[in-house]
Structure 1
Amino acid sequence: MGGVSEGDDVLARWSDGLLYLGNVKRQVDGVKQCCLVRFEDNSEFWVLRKDIHSAAGVEEVCCICDAPPLKEPLINCLKCHHYHPECHTPTIEPEADSDSWICRQCVFAVATKRGGALKRGRFARLMQFMKLRLPYQLSSLDWDPQHLTNQQQCYCYCAGPGWNLKMLQCGSCGQWFHEACTQCLLKPLLYGDFYQFQCSVCTKGPETVQRLPMTVDLAHLVLYHLSLCCKRKYFDFDHEILSFTNENWDSLLLGLSDTPRQDRCHNLLNALNSHKDFVSGKEIKKKKCLFGLQVRAPPPLTSDLSPLVTDPPISITHRR
């Protein structure tokens, strides 16, 4: 968007899809096209210029193309900048009220939340409408062989950066979408979990999401999620592993939510002690109640040995 200078207060979009307040400390022009931004917690990171938005602006130019009004007048967002109607996505309708119109950036800034965007209210409705079109050409992105990252660092409805472990992949177009920008989730995403998801662009309406039946080892999923969240390898069975499993049981095993708690404990402990993917504390001369993953990796798409699931594996075509 519009240019920024050193010392400017800005909103920088992070890989979770949310905007954070910061201050530009240094600019790098040319190929890298990024700025060093200091955030409110005093951390400093390089952020691509496309993901940096000026926190305040009064200049009478379009914040997308930096051009003056020319043949068509600029429309002023109630909260931030000026736009040519054709530069905004979606195109600003001629009958738009310049005293109350709000741009895509501001709608997403208000509606996006950790665990999923707003589902009700004016901003939720505006966001749903704006999500019907992407503000970039999906075909122009250069993807890696696994289709996990692209060179432009352009993802989701917001065109911001991303980290695929905390995003949903659309089963139709293949693009990745931030948890914070989606309006279909009932519970926060777990690292390494499995979903079938379609974005609003592909459905031409509300997103759809379905959590796939568990065909992976539950213990593996829980340990992988905890290891990424806590940045540790070993976890206490009673106070961390079992506690987290019980708190999230309904979302972890939708089809087995009636399993008694005492059976959960027995089956989970049996899995941790018998599966080759896990290591216990006693093997490394620590407390035997500690468990961790041999290799920090997400659960496999199918599990041949899963003490907690008796149904045969199903074919999984898309994975978050």
Structure 2
Amino acid sequence: MAAKMGGVSEGDDVLARWSDGLLYLGNVKRVSVCACVCVQFEDNSEFWVLRKDIHSFSVGVEEVCCVCDAPPLKEPLINCLKCRHGYHPECHTPSIEPEADSNSWICRQCVFAVATKRGGAIKRGRFARLMQIMKLRLPYQLSSLDWDPQHLTNQQQCYCYCAGPGEWNLKMLQCGSCGQWFHEACTQCLTKPLLYGDRFYEFQCSVCASGPETIQRLPMSWVDLAHLVLYHLSLCCKRKYFDFDHEIMSFANENWDSLLLGSLSDTPRQDRCHNLLNALNSNKDRFVSGKEIKKKKCLFGLQVRAPPPLTSDSSPLITDPPINITQRRRSE
């Protein structure tokens, strides 16, 4: 007999929310008593996923609420048009309005499944509007989360509007008002995709703004830019050292407009090289050059593989190791 937990059984096809805020198709291989599910994904990789981040498919119209597992109360359950999961109106976040059309209503999970995407959530159309409404309330109590001293991670692995897992240094924005971290994929305010470790934004979430998110680019120095490019390359390429001309400078030039560099953005192409190279050679506390380790002098790496610090950071460098950034093909 297949093991079962919270409506999920071995062999079930499920959607699992990953730390990038996106949902990926997988198959349940094992379930445990500690609220974890082992899921095999389409690339045959297997990972343990928290039950809260697993979304199963429904066959037909459900007769119990998928949130509290209770049957209908005074009124029938409202079933989602897409996934067919049933909800008590008060169990869904936000509560389902009495005038909601039971033949066209779509649940929060399905709205986020459709609206989220790499580079930032969709900004136009029905699902974009529904997402904005859903984002006015979090589906959990922010005050109940147990944070580390630097307010980077919480024990519950609960972040963003989607309540999914997250990695603060992997394309997430921190709200300046509530301190919570939000996935790039779930935000609708970005004009350009984030780089890994890019925290040079002043961001306010929809909950704190009581409406659309607000965002403003913070000023960056040449040292910040060099640090950010090296950190992004180190996570993408899984190497420590990079050639200045062919990798560091090439990446900066190719992504110059996307970096939103403010006052630096008007720097002529011929002057960028001098400024970046000077930043790398003049900040030994952040960067290591090849000649210091008996390698080619045109190679540079980070002293500590950590995102560039903000001036508001209490500690100059956060030395937690980078987390797995395995990329998977998103299920359609």
Decide: shared fold, TM above 0.5: yes
Alignment partner of 1:7 is 2:16 = no
Aligned to 2:149: 145
With over 3 angstroms needed to count, the CA separation of the structure-2 counterparts of 1:308 and 1:96, relative to structure 1, is: closer
Kept in 1, the 8 Å contact 2:304–2:319? The answer is no
Kept in 2, the 8 Å contact 1:214–1:253? The answer is no
- Post-superposition offset of 1:267: 1.5
CA distance in 1, matches of 2:133, 2:297: 54
CA distance in 2, matches of 1:217, 1:31: 46
- Post-superposition offset of 1:253: 5.2
With over 3 angstroms needed to count, the CA separation of the structure-2 counterparts of 1:120 and 1:2, relative to structure 1, is: farther
Select which of 284, 300, 306 maps to 2:293: 284
RMSD, aligned CA: 5.7
Query: Aligned residues: percent identity?
Result: 91
Residues matched between the structures, number: 315
Kept in 2, the 8 Å contact 1:17–1:181? The answer is yes
Q: Deviations over 1:16-41 (max 9, x none)?
A: 10000001100xxx773110000111
- Post-superposition offset of 1:235: 0.9
Kept in 2, the 8 Å contact 1:116–1:185? The answer is yes
- Post-superposition offset of 1:316: 27
- Post-superposition offset of 1:114: 0.4
With over 3 angstroms needed to count, the CA separation of the structure-2 counterparts of 1:266 and 1:41, relative to structure 1, is: same
Kept in 1, the 8 Å contact 2:196–2:231? The answer is yes
With over 3 angstroms needed to count, the CA separation of the structure-2 counterparts of 1:115 and 1:304, relative to structure 1, is: closer
- Post-superposition offset of 1:312: 31
With over 3 angstroms needed to count, the CA separation of the structure-2 counterparts of 1:308 and 1:147, relative to structure 1, is: closer
CA distance in 2, matches of 1:268, 1:251: 17
With over 3 angstroms needed to count, the CA separation of the structure-2 counterparts of 1:109 and 1:259, relative to structure 1, is: same
Aligned to 1:251: 258
Select which of 296, 299, 308 maps to 1:299: 308
Kept in 1, the 8 Å contact 2:169–2:197? The answer is no
With over 3 angstroms needed to count, the CA separation of the structure-2 counterparts of 1:203 and 1:209, relative to structure 1, is: same
- Please identify, of 41-50 and 267-276, the stretch whose mean Cα deviation from structure 2 is larger: 267-276
- Post-superposition offset of 1:272: 2.0
Kept in 2, the 8 Å contact 1:217–1:307? The answer is no
Q: Deviations over 1:147-195 (max 9, x none)?
A: 1111111111111111444211111111111110000011111233211
Kept in 1, the 8 Å contact 2:308–2:317? The answer is no
What is the TM-score of this pair, normalised by structure 2?
A: 0.86
Q: What SS is found at the alignment partner of 2:170?
A: helix
- Post-superposition offset of 1:212: 0.4
Kept in 1, the 8 Å contact 2:309–2:316? The answer is no
Q: Deviations over 1:170-226 (max 9, x none)?
A: 111111111100000111112332111000011110000111011453211211111
With over 3 angstroms needed to count, the CA separation of the structure-2 counterparts of 1:22 and 1:72, relative to structure 1, is: same
- Post-superposition offset of 1:3: 1.6
- Post-superposition offset of 1:49: 0.3
With over 3 angstroms needed to count, the CA separation of the structure-2 counterparts of 1:306 and 1:2, relative to structure 1, is: closer
CA distance in 2, matches of 1:125, 1:176: 22
Q: Deviations over 1:88-109 (max 9, x none)?
A: 1111111211111111000000
Kept in 2, the 8 Å contact 1:219–1:268? The answer is yes
What is the TM-score of this pair, normalised by structure 1?
A: 0.89
Kept in 2, the 8 Å contact 1:143–1:149? The answer is yes
- Post-superposition offset of 1:58: 4.2
Kept in 1, the 8 Å contact 2:226–2:280? The answer is yes
- Please identify, of 142-151 and 296-305, the stretch whose mean Cα deviation from structure 2 is larger: 296-305
With over 3 angstroms needed to count, the CA separation of the structure-2 counterparts of 1:309 and 1:170, relative to structure 1, is: closer
With over 3 angstroms needed to count, the CA separation of the structure-2 counterparts of 1:314 and 1:249, relative to structure 1, is: farther
